[in-house]
């Protein structure tokens, strides 16, 4: 395989904003990246003009990064599954403004957690998500973006925990060219899929959703065993999924055009991505990696 599309979550904070995001990714040896357009826990946003977007893009180009495979993550606060009209309006408005913002960063993929049904039940929740997506997309349909529904662990009342649920959402969305999927290896492990059996995962995904809709992979290990419904990420190879299972997703021919993004946890406040990426490129597990990261 010629090139692997490998990156991580990077920060997008002042003073350098997007330029800083690209610099951070380059420091880790990445050719793709994922960022939040602002703090995931509130809706305060730095004006676009201040975000050093052109500088970031220029630096990414200079260094041969794969700009068309960059990923933005929508804030967790957005919950389209809710029925409460005020909360739903907040979520729809926020999603719409994040789509506009994502496009301003010339980023096409926007990963979205489908939502929590709270007490409403699966059917009502899924219906709310579909309606919310349709209303929002209708208003910005001329922009160039793809909302990537993330597969979830099934913590609490999370929806999108099975490929079937994700498929139901996609089936309800009117503008099919605006919708894709983000597969998170930690989440599917916690949801009960055997990550190690990559043929089974890919075949199931293809049979139920369609592999052409897979746009992003979140490459995380899990602190919890198969089917735990927990969603706690672990460093690459250090969790219940393990190195040999995860590495298959990096080098599989069928997934070669899909950006793979690490959302693995910091080790003693230090980012693990440079070391994890080096290890992934060597294709050999290093059991002392966490100590190496911690001692930086």
**Residue 30 contact, options Fe ion, Zn ion, none, Cβ 5-8 Å cut-off depending on partner type:** none
Q: Taking the complex as a whole, how short is the minimal distance between the CB of residue 186 and Zn ion, in angstroms?
A: 6
Helix (H, G, I), strand (E, B) or coil at 71: strand
Q: Is 231 in the site for Zn ion (CB under 5 A)?
A: yes
Q: Taking the complex as a whole, how short is the minimal distance between the CB of residue 62 and Fe ion, in angstroms?
A: 29
Residue-level length of the chain: 296
**Residue 218 contact, options Fe ion, Zn ion, none, Cβ 5-8 Å cut-off depending on partner type:** Fe ion
Stretch that binds Zn ion, among 38-46, 209-217, 224-232, 243-251 (CB under 5 A): 224-232
CA dihedral 165, 111, 191, 241 (to 10 degrees): 150
Name which of 40 and 121 has its Cβ closer to Zn ion: 40
Stretch that binds Zn ion, among 42-50, 91-99, 169-177, 226-234 (CB under 5 A): 226-234
Q: Taking the complex as a whole, how short is the minimal distance between the CB of residue 84 and Zn ion, in angstroms?
A: 24
What's the rounded Cα separation, in Å, for the pair 132 and 85?
A: 11
Residues numbered 236-275 forming contacts with Zn ion, rule: CB under 5 A: none
Cβ pair 45, 37 in contact under 8 A? yes
- Could you give the residue ranges of the DSSP H alpha helices within the chain? 17-27, 53-62, 85-104, 122-140, 163-172, 185-191, 198-208, 243-251, 273-282, 289-294
Q: Taking the complex as a whole, how short is the minimal distance between the CB of residue 218 and Zn ion, in angstroms?
A: 7
Q: Taking the complex as a whole, how short is the minimal distance between the CB of residue 89 and Fe ion, in angstroms?
A: 23
Q: Is 190 in the site for Zn ion (CB under 5 A)?
A: no
Query: Of 233, 231, 235, nearest to 243 (Cα)?
Result: 235
Number of residues in contact with Zn ion, rule: CB under 5 A?
Answer: 1
- Around 131, how many Cα atoms within 13 Å sit in the side-chain half-sphere? 12
Q: Taking the complex as a whole, how short is the minimal distance between the CB of residue 2 and Fe ion, in angstroms?
A: 26
Helix (H, G, I), strand (E, B) or coil at 99: helix
Stretch that binds Zn ion, among 60-68, 86-94, 138-146, 225-233 (CB under 5 A): 225-233
Tell me the two tokens of residue 31.
Answer: 């050719």
**Residue 231 contact, options Zn ion, Fe ion, none, Cβ 5-8 Å cut-off depending on partner type:** Zn ion
Q: Is 234 in the site for Zn ion (CB under 5 A)?
A: no
Q: Taking the complex as a whole, how short is the minimal distance between the CB of residue 85 and Fe ion, in angstroms?
A: 26
Stretch that binds Zn ion, among 56-64, 96-104, 206-214, 227-235 (CB under 5 A): 227-235
**Residue 221 contact, options Fe ion, Zn ion, none, Cβ 5-8 Å cut-off depending on partner type:** none
Name which of 19 and 111 has its Cβ closer to Fe ion: 111
Helix (H, G, I), strand (E, B) or coil at 215: strand
Sign of CA dihedral 136, 139, 142, 144: negative
Name which of 98 and 231 has its Cβ closer to Zn ion: 231
Interface positions with Fe ion (CB under 5 A): 150, 184, 218
Cis peptide before 15 (omega within 30 of 0): yes
Tell me the two tokens of residue 247.
Answer: 């590495």
What's the rounded Cα separation, in Å, for the pair 27 and 151?
A: 29
Name which of 24 and 231 has its Cβ closer to Zn ion: 231
Q: Taking the complex as a whole, how short is the minimal distance between the CB of residue 183 and Fe ion, in angstroms?
A: 9
What's the rounded Cα separation, in Å, for the pair 179 and 214?
A: 10
Which residues here bind Zn ion, judged by CB under 5 A? 231
């Amino acid at each position: 395989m010629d090139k692997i599309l490998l990156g991580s979550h990077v920060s997008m904070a002042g003073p350098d904003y997007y330029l800083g995001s690209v610099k951070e990714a380059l420091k880790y040896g990445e050719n793709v990246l994922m960022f939040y357009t602002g703090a995931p826990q509130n809706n305060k946003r730095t004006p676009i003009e201040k975000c050093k977007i052109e500088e970031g893009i220029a630096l990414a180009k200079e260094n041969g990064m794969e700009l068309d495979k960059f990923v933005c993550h929508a804030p967790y606060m957005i919950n389209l599954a809710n029925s409460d009209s005020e909360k739903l309006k907040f979520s729809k408005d926020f999603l719409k403004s994040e789509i506009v913002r994502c496009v301003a960063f010339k980023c096409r993929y926007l990963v979205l957690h489908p939502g929590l049904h709270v007490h409403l039940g699966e059917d009502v929740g899924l219906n709310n998500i579909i309606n919310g997506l349709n209303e929002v997309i209708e208003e910005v349909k001329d922009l160039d973006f793809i909302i990537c529904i993330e597969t979830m662990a099934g913590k609490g009342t999370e929806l999108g925990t099975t490929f079937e649920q994700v498929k139901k959402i996609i089936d309800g969305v009117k503008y099919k060219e605006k919708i894709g999927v983000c597969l998170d290896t930690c989440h599917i492990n916690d949801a009960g899929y055997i990550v190690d059996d990559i043929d089974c995962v890919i075949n199931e995904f293809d049979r139920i959703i369609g592999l052409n809709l897979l746009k992003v992979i979140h490459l995380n290990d899990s602190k919890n065993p198969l089917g735990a419904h927990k969603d706690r990420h672990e460093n690459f190879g250090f969790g219940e999924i393990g190195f040999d299972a995860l590495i298959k997703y990096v080098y599989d021919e069928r997934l070669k055009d899909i950006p793979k993004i690490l959302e693995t946890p910091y080790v003693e406040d230090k980012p693990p991505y440079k070391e994890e990426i080096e290890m992934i490129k060597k294709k050999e597990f290093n059991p002392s990696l966490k100590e190496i990261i911690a001692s930086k």
